[in-house]
Chains A and B, each alone.
Chain A
Amino acid sequence: MEAELLARLTADLAWIRPELLLAGFALLGTLVGAWMGDRASGLLSGLCAIALVVAAYFAWQVRPAEPHTVFNGALSIDGFSAYAKTVIALAAAATLLLGADHFARRNERRFEFPVLIALSAVGMFVMVSANDLITLYVGLELQSLAAYVLAAFRRDDARSSEAGLKYFVLGALASGLLLYGSSLIYGFAGSVRFDEIATAAGQGGVGLIFGLVFLVCGLAFKMSAAPFHMWTPDVYEGAPTPVTAFFAAAPKLAAVALLARVLYGPFAGLEAQWQQVIIALSGISLLVGAFIALAQTNIKRLMAYSSIHNMGFALMALAAGTEKGMSAALIYMTIYLPTTIGAFAGILAMRRDGKDVETIDDLAGLASRKPWLAMLLTVLFFSVAGIPPLAGFFGKLVTFQAAVDGGLWPLAVVAALATVISAAYYLNIIKVMWVNAPAPAFQSSGPTIAVTAGLATLLVFPVLVVGFGWIEQAALFAASSSFP
């Protein structure tokens, strides 16, 4: 019996190589950091970025045509999780590069930064593979706990501490909602395993719907969908900018993927019920993100509302309830991540007299001072506004197609209106950069920030546009191979 257990364990371990690699890096990295102190921060950041890229490769390599569950059904390794893990790992690696330069310039190097990013990535990997409610919760908590610490990373700065505290308290509340929903689901379905919940959900039941609504509320908080978005602007503004870039990228995709997995997996039988909830979340996010952003002067707060608005699009695709909707959400997020990382790289380059500046007016006349940076930011903001032929346009196009195919005409109309409104503030930034009288010049930014901004822009145009068919195929495979 023991030999059999051991054989099963080693067979399962081979399936979770990406998680093992990152967890191993985190443990060893802590040892190295404890030994060498903060001098190790540059070395560890580099190693962590490499580990993340290798983890992305491992995750991509394992793409079974049929879902494969490991560890007694705790995790499901399938095309969907492989796709999500690859994108998450690459996005996390990019934000790590941003952080290395930023913290070095401010003389705030700390070796814990890459370690916490790696642990957070492990949490996200577990989230997108979750196959029962316990795995879902533990993965989410691992990711969030690391995020709370990262938000308060600049501990002597009042705004950073406030961001960490606010994120922690509200996050704990959301976790409470999520757990309460999970306990209701467990009570009614009699199991925490997704396949058994799916059987129970097929028979319907008011109790399960109650539980599902609580669960969705908790997840909506994590992905900052309105009306659970209150923490987002404050946390985005207060947290150190590379950390904000991290929050805006990888965890968003992980939360969207987790929500998709929960809705399309165990609760596929209750689609008529959850569809209304997701439509409401999507519509409110689209409008709140578009309207409130108009009044922002701080560019980090603006990005926060922009991300709320963009979550509305991902939710709209999910609300369609079709395979196409799920792949559209994945495609949308895949295109959104490089855009937002590039925009944050641009924000990190805004540095004057040794201080970071972050209001929109500081960008005035950037085109005459730093034409290259202005070009990059223009491309990125045009993309996120959804202007063809940039990648952002195609992302929006597939979500609209999915929504219309799913019969969600009214929501698609709301989304179109919200897009027009949101275009106003993106265009305003571009106008400030190109037309307004020049403000004093920025200092030159570090090499990794410049490289990240350049790469992100290249992805937005033309790499992802040319490779769009390929991404679409990968996302469709992810959606179709994982959910029956």
Chain B
Amino acid sequence: MLEAIAFYVLASVAVLSAFAVVSARNPVHSVLFLILTFFNAAGLFVLLGAEFLAMLLVVVYVGAVAVLFLFVVMMLDVDFVELKQGFLSYMPLGGLVGVVLLGEMLLVTSAVRTSGAFSDRPTALPEGVTNAERIGRVLYTDYLFLFQLAGLVLFVAMIGAIVLTLRKRDGIKRQDVSKQVGRTRKQGVELKDVRPGQGLG
């Protein structure tokens, strides 16, 4: 009973805030609603017994991705009102696509319900094995190859970011530790005999 209430609260808030993400006028509000959506999705994961995924969602998506979005939105001066000018004219087509996609998702759900392609409840965890441990066991054994391959994808992304944005600039002042340490008193200090009443000229 309590579980059902929790599910409906979390699910409806998630859907409503997701709608608010696209309809909010202020882009900063959009990002904040996005964070709310992530939190509710994390709550749904907890209800399914996947605490580790829930924490991951909060840490990665709220902690990193959403904050990055916030930075982008605040740093770039994008006129979102102007961007949304065409929104209403695209609405009918976009809505149609959305309805078709929704219909197909319902189709899949009903097919799974009737033919039972997958057991509809996640299998219970054996006693004494935590979420993280269980994921780790398959991630680093059965899916080891894909895990490493995903690492290569991230490597490409990193190289790409550097290739496309890093520029060598002249006149940058850098700290050169060995130069600093190797400096002698002779190079650093100069004694001047200053006569009284006259400046250093």
- Determine if A207 and B146 form an interchain contact, defined as CB atoms under 8 angstroms apart: no
| Choice from B118, B145, B156 contacting A119 with Cβ under 8 Å | B156
B104-118 vs A, CB cutoff 8 Å, 1 = contact: the mask equals: 100111011000011
Indicate whether A202 reaches chain B with its CB closer than 8 angstroms. no
Within 8 A of B (CB), among A122-146: 122-123, 126, 134-135, 138-139, 141-142, 145-146
What separation, in Å, do the CA atoms of A30 and B117 have in the docked complex?
A: 45
**B146 CB, min distance to chain A CBs, angstroms:** 6
- Quick check: B117 and A190 within 8 Å, CB to CB? yes
- Within the complex, what minimum Cβ distance (angstroms) separates B108 from chain A? 4
- Asked whether, in the complex, the Cβ of B145 is within 8 Å of the Cβ of A75, the reply is yes
- Note all chain A residues with C-beta closer than 8 A to B143: 72, 74, 134
Q: Which residues of A are found within 8 Å of B149, using beta-carbon distances? A: 126, 135, 138-139, 142
CB–CB B163/A142 < 8 A: no
Complex: A12 Cα to B118 Cα, angstroms:
29
Complex partner residue of A112 from B142, B145, B163, CB under 8 angstroms: B163
In the complex the two chains form, what is the Cα distance from A210 to B103 in whole Å? 12
Is A71 engaged at the interface, CB distance under 8 Å to the other chain? Answer: yes
Report whether B159 and A116 are in contact in the complex, using a CB–CB cutoff of 8 Å: yes
B94 to chain A, nearest CB (A): 14
Q: Are A149 and B156 in contact (CB under 8 A)?
A: yes
Q: Are B152 and A23 in contact (CB under 8 A)?
A: yes
Could you say which residues of chain A place their CB within 8 Å of the CB of B172?
A: none
Chain B nearest Cβ from A421, distance in angstroms = 34
> Which residues of chain B from 88 to 132 have a CB within 8 Å of any chain A CB?
101, 104, 107-109, 111-112, 117-118
Main secondary structure of the interface of B (DSSP, over half): helix
**B60 in contact (CB, < 8 A):** no
Check B157 for interface membership: any CB of A closer than 8 A. Answer: yes
B159–A149 touching, CB < 8 Å: yes
Beta-carbon contact of B108 and A138 below 8 Å: no
Residues of B132-181 contacting chain A, CB below 8 A: 141-146, 149-150, 152-153, 155-157, 159-160, 162-164
Task: State whether B153 touches A190 (Cβ < 8 A).
Answer: no
Which stretch, A90-98, A181-189, A333-341, touches the partner chain B? A181-189
Complex interface: chain A residues within 8 A of B142 (CB): 72
Q: How far is the CB of A4 from chain B (nearest CB, A)?
A: 11
* Chain B, residue nearest A1 (CB): B141
What residues of chain A lie closer than 8 Å to B118, measured between beta carbons?
190
- Residues in B with CB closer than 8 Å to A126 are 149
Determine whether the beta carbon of A110 is less than 8 Å from that of B163: yes
B144 pairs with A146, CB closer than 8 A: no
Is the Cβ of B152 less than 8 Å from the Cβ of A122? yes
Knowing A9-B144, A71-B144, A72-B143 are in contact, say whether A207-B107 is a contact too (CB < 8 A). yes
Q: Tell me if A26 is interfacial: C-beta within 8 Å of chain B.
A: yes
Closest Cβ of chain A: how far from B90's Cβ, in Å? Answer: 15
* Contact yes or no, A116 B156, CB < 8 A: yes
Contact indicator A112/B156 (Cβ below 8 Å): no
CA A2 to CA B157, docked complex, whole Å: 33
Tell yes or no: A89 within 8 A of B by CB: no
Give the complex CA separation of A88 and B179 in angstroms. Answer: 50
Tell me whether B159 and A30 are in contact (CB under 8 A): yes
Q: CA separation between A190 and B117, bound complex, in Å?
A: 5
Please measure, in the bound complex, the distance between the C-alpha atom of A27 and the C-alpha atom of B153, giving whole angstroms: 12
A152 to B160, CA, bound (A): 9
In the complex, per-residue mask of A105-122: 1 if CB is within 8 Å of any chain B CB, else 0 = 000001010011001001
Contact B159 A112 (CB under 8 A): yes
**Chain B, residue nearest A16 (CB):** B145
Q: Judging by beta carbons under 8 Å apart, are B146 and A135 in contact?
A: yes
CA A179 to CA B98, docked complex, whole Å: 16
Q: Which residues of B contact A72 (CB under 8 A)?
A: 141-143
List B contacts of A305 (CB < 8 A).
none
User: A138 and B150: CB pair below 8 A?
Assistant: yes
Q: How far is the CB of B106 from chain A (nearest CB, A)?
A: 11
A112 and B156 CA atoms in complex are apart in Å by 10
Q: Report which of A27, A115, A188 forms a contact with B111, defined as CB distance below 8 A.
A: A188
Which residues, 68 to 96 on B, are CB-close (under 8 Å) to A? none
- Minimal Cβ-Cβ distance residue in B for A190: B117
The verdict on A313 contacting chain B, using a C-beta distance below 8 Å, is no
The reply to whether A115 and B152 form a contact with Cβ atoms under 8 Å apart is no
Which of B145, B155, B160, B162 lies in contact with A26, CB distance below 8 A?
Answer: B155
A141 contact set on B, CB distance < 8 A: 153
Is A145 in contact with B112, judged by CB distance below 8 angstroms? no
| CB <8 Å contact, B104 and A184 | yes
Contact A153 B144 (CB under 8 A): no
Instruction: Tell me the complex Cα distance, A155–B163, Å.
Output: 8
- Is residue A80 within 8 Å, beta carbon to beta carbon, of the partner chain? no
**Smallest CB separation, B104 vs chain A (Å):** 6
Q: Are B159 and A138 in contact (CB under 8 A)?
A: no
In the complex where A138-B146, A187-B117, A188-B108 touch, is A145 in contact with B156 (Cβ < 8 A)? yes
The listed residue (A5, A75, A112) touching B141 by CB distance below 8 A is A5
Chain B nearest CB, measured from A32 CB (Å): 14
Residues of chain B within 8 A (CB-CB) of A110 are: 163
CA distance A93 to B96 in the complex (A): 46
- Of B108, B141, B159, which contacts A184 at CB under 8 A? B108
Q: List 21 A-B contacts (CB under 8 A).
A: A9-B144, A12-B145, A26-B155, A30-B159, A71-B145, A71-B146, A72-B141, A72-B143, A75-B145, A112-B163, A115-B159, A126-B149, A135-B145, A138-B153, A139-B149, A142-B152, A142-B156, A155-B163, A187-B108, A188-B112, A207-B107
Identify the 4 closest CB pairs spanning chains A and B, nearest first: A190-B117, A149-B160, A71-B145, A187-B108
| Besides A72-B141, A116-B159, 10 other A-B contacts (C-beta < 8 A) | A26-B155, A72-B143, A74-B143, A119-B155, A119-B156, A134-B146, A145-B157, A155-B163, A205-B111, A210-B104
Binding site for B on A (CB under 8 A): 5, 9, 12, 16, 23, 26-27, 30, 70-72, 74-75, 110, 112, 115-116, 119, 122-123, 126, 134-135, 138-139, 141-142, 145-146, 148-149, 152-153, 155, 164, 180, 183-184, 187-190, 200, 205-207, 210
